[in-house]
Structure 1
Amino acid sequence: MLTTTTLKVLEPSELDETLALLRREPVNNAFVTARVQASGLDPWRLGGEMWGWYQQGRLESLCYAGANLVPLCAGPEAIRCFADRALRQGRRCSSIVGPARPTAALWSALEPHWGPARDVRPYQPLMVTEAVPLDIPADPLVRRIRKDEMDLILPACVAMFTEEVGISPMAGDGGLIYQSRVAELVGSGRSFARVENGRVVFKAEIGAATAHACQIQGVWVTPERRGQGLSETGMAAVLRYALTEVSPVVSLYVNDFNAAARASYRRVGFQESGAFMSVLF
């Protein structure tokens, strides 16, 4: 019996306990919840480890440690334990990302050892909606990307990622991991785009999906078509898919300096509800 505070790597036998904790904050935790549900906490399928912090024998906090380091439901003592383990293990992640408060605390502990980061985005508004917009028409040309259209969608995904993150996802391993993730989204029917003359001019994905909430990611409009309303009508179309086929709540997070995107999302019904933070290496 665990009687004080303990940190351990969670195992498949602790799946129900883990999911119960994640359900406390279903919108904040959608990305990790989706990974946990798909993997059953098997480390190979999870793509990393799930660290659990126990207090008086009860699981109270989590930290996903894979390509991203993601602290969830974590107070100061749990953050100290997560930071200690991360320092002992050494940096294996390409980013630290998650709800702003625990992520900022974790980065504060790790920065003297892992810094400087390539980029720190301390305030990324989390935006949420539960309704299809009534005054923005859904673009009828936005559709699911088919499995045989990887060559069509991949260049747009690479352009979006490079613009957003500042480096190409094709670096390092030649893009194998990134292409696999794009293929996973296409194969699961969660990749959407408007295609004109054989080119993607708008795209977005439902990146994480649970029964309680899903998260839209990778919203992108080709540069020469920006300012024409494609992002709003395109998002209205993706929202219709998400709310009718996936989950009752849709979220996304956006850089605070991207005023145009924030305004566009507000016009289709998103409201700010908290914030995320990202530390990019």
Structure 2
Amino acid sequence: MLALAHRDAVANVFILSHLESAGTASPTAGGASIFGVFDGGTLLGACWAGANLVPVQLDPDLAGVVAMAAHRSGRRYASIFGPAETVLALYAALEQLGQSAHEIRDDQPLLTIQGPPAVRPEPALGFGQLADFDKILPACAAMFEEEVGYSPYLGGREYYSRRVKSLIRQGHSLVHLSADGEVIFKAELGAVTPEVTQVQGVWMNPEFRGLGLSAGYMAAVVVLAQTLAPVTSLYVNEFNTKARATYDRVGFRQVGTFATVLF
């Protein structure tokens, strides 16, 4: 699995982060597993099957057999995300099996930057602290609801709270708090390997939007992320022209295209 995923360390940062932290491709305590497509003893492609489906170097032509395995498992998946062609092939097969999407985002540029950002970083951005958890959590929930259209507490507050707290503990939460404790800007490093970090959860407090602050904060995200790995990556909805313009100013460049199917 490691050899397969390392063929594209940027696109596969999610699974590489899991494999390197867990040290195994075996099922997790929570029941997440990895489907593999083999030719004899050769692993041709794979797919993480946990809360989400995440293909790993999976040829779109093999998506049908993985979709059947995912469907037979009986699990409910929140989303499919990864390289666009394979994600859309997986969904097409699942749709034939009776699963329908809430939303399909079929064009999400995958961006990376290596080296210093092209604009001055905002020096106030830093790593989140557990002492500020009660301030960071509502900002994370607000970002989630804006992004996917429903509350992350829908299935219960505890799981999402643990996730946010875990990111803070790992040093993967980036935040700027005002003097009165209000979150101005925040982001997370949702997946981290020695080679690549993947930025997620980028959010600016609505009171501070439209002031030209985003590029400086994103430049600071890059600088902090590069203390952990040399390449910083993210993917963004093609229609989010403001965010794309910000990432372009900072120095991100497109290296691929992702898609996300939300159930």
- TM score, norm. by length of structure 2: 0.95
Cα separation, 2, equivalents of 1:51 and 1:115: 19
1:219-258 matches, within 5 Å, as: 219-243=202-226, 245-258=227-240
Cα separation, 2, equivalents of 1:76 and 1:155: 38
The aligned counterpart of 2:256 is: 274
String of CA shifts for 1:116-173, please: whole Å, max 9, x gaps.
3111101111011102214x1111111111112110100000000000011100111x
The aligned counterpart of 2:71 is: 87
Structure 2 CA distance for partners of 1:107 and 1:194, relative to 1, 3 Å:
same
Question: Which sits farther off after the overlay, 35-44 or 62-71?
Answer: 35-44
Among the aligned pairs, what percent are the same residue?
44
Question: Which sits farther off after the overlay, 137-146 or 21-30?
Answer: 137-146
Cα separation, 2, equivalents of 1:77 and 1:217: 29
Conserved? CA contact 1:67–1:93, under 8 Å: yes
Aligned equivalent of 1:157, options 125, 136, 140 = 140
Indicate the RMSD between aligned Cα atoms, in angstroms. 1.4
Cα separation, 2, equivalents of 1:182 and 1:67: 16
Cα separation, 2, equivalents of 1:22 and 1:188: 23
Question: Runs of 5+ in structure 2 lacking a partner?
Answer: none
Cα separation, 1, equivalents of 2:41 and 2:30: 24
Structure 2 CA distance for partners of 1:112 and 1:81, relative to 1, 3 Å:
closer
The aligned counterpart of 2:175 is: 193
Cα separation, 2, equivalents of 1:248 and 1:234: 18
Conserved? CA contact 1:26–1:213, under 8 Å: yes
Question: Runs of 5+ in structure 1 lacking a partner?
Answer: 1-17
Cα separation, 1, equivalents of 2:133 and 2:259: 30
Structure 2 CA distance for partners of 1:260 and 1:83, relative to 1, 3 Å:
same
Letter in 1 for 2:237: N
String of CA shifts for 1:76-99, please: whole Å, max 9, x gaps.
442121011122223421111111
Aligned equivalent of 1:104, options 83, 88, 96 = 88
- TM score, norm. by length of structure 1: 0.89
Tell me the matched-pair count. 261
Cα separation, 2, equivalents of 1:229 and 1:100: 31
Conserved? CA contact 1:160–1:218, under 8 Å: yes
Cα separation, 1, equivalents of 2:219 and 2:2: 30
Question: Which sits farther off after the overlay, 74-83 or 55-64?
Answer: 74-83
Letter in 2 for 1:162: E
Q: SS of the counterpart of 1:236?
A: helix
